[in-house]
Structure 1
Amino acid sequence: MSFDTERAGAVATRGRPRTFDRAEALRKAMEVFWERGYEGTSISDLTAAMGINSPSLYAAFGCKEQLFRETIAHYNETLGATAYAELRDRPTAREAIAAVLRHHAVVFCDPDHPRGCMIVLVATTFSENTRSVHEYLAKWRHAVEDDFQARIERGIAEGDVPTGVDATAVAAFYNTVNHGMAIQARDGADRAKLSAIAEAAISAWDGLVGQCR
């Protein structure tokens, strides 16, 4: 989404040139973090998935947390890009938020990736040693809500959302639905169930914002 990423720069390679595809290694690391969570992922898990040894990992990506932050940026630039485009390009706020929820009802169950949303799921709990990771993910989660709010405020300015609507509350509601769908997917909900949740939330729009006149 539109949150300004704090992506960590990769540590410059030392010694012999890399003999692996960095972008592919990053994608594989993303999948491991997404499936197991930040604390549940070890360096050995990462090196096994990425097909590199630990010196190569540290040389290319820095520490585990730096690698993790790069995977979050990668997630947003690839899998997260479609949802942001829907939010930006749909002609009304209602259509934009509906498109995001309907999109997530599909992708949260995509068999080609871990279920749910990486940003919602990978670091909701934390120890003192991983507080910075939790706070980093919390910023991303709040950024989604900020994007919803900005789109509703744009709808007010453009006349498809009534003046006086509490954009903050409506955005928080739909972001909560979005988070809940991610958790439902991780717990095994199928596309039909997630679609039903999305449609119920979409049908609540008029009650939340009122009808434009």
Structure 2
Amino acid sequence: MSAPYARIVRRETHSPRTATTILLAVLIILACAYAGTELILRMLGQPALLVSPADAWTWLATLPTLEPLAAISAGGALVAVVGLLLILHAIRSGRLARHEMVLGDRAVIVDNGVLASAIARRVETVARVPQGQAAVSVSHRRAIVEVTPTSGIPVDEESVRRAVAEEIASYDVRPALRHTVHIKQTGAIGS
């Protein structure tokens, strides 16, 4: 696949970091605006809104010696955990509920709901059950199929498994899907 298609596929299958970026930018802007306001008030000889810059620096310098030490350590650990979570959020790729379908040199993006619907339709045909008695959920790497047979009509589990495997293989999606098939022991009343 060419580079522009690869970029488009990545953009359509991964979630952006826009909300986190905007939130962090707003918090940084507010902190800078507050610090700037306090500095301007200090230069004009006015009283501080919350704390003067000199008092803030003094408090920061004495922070390691303050009591109770456990509370200070807990606060430091909390800040470290928030920082680690932000780093992990930046590094890890957020996935959307979509898959890339390999179709020659074309970029085709398929929603997981569409894949689930197509697999369910095939299962209903093979298992000879009415529409709605095959439930399929598709996640990033797995398709889970649950079939509720019609009362009195057995379902051949092996043929359903084979049909699901063939259906998933025919799509050739990336990342590849593994599947699990479960036939319920209790049936639904036929219509």
Question: Which range, TM-score by smaller chain?
Answer: under 0.3
- TM-score w.r.t. length of structure 2: 0.25
Compare the two structures and name the one with the higher helix fraction. Answer: 1
Greater strand content: 2
> TM-score scaled to structure 1, two decimals?
0.23
Select the structure with the greater relative contact order (CA < 8 A; seq sep ≥ 6).
1
Higher-Rg member (1/2): 2
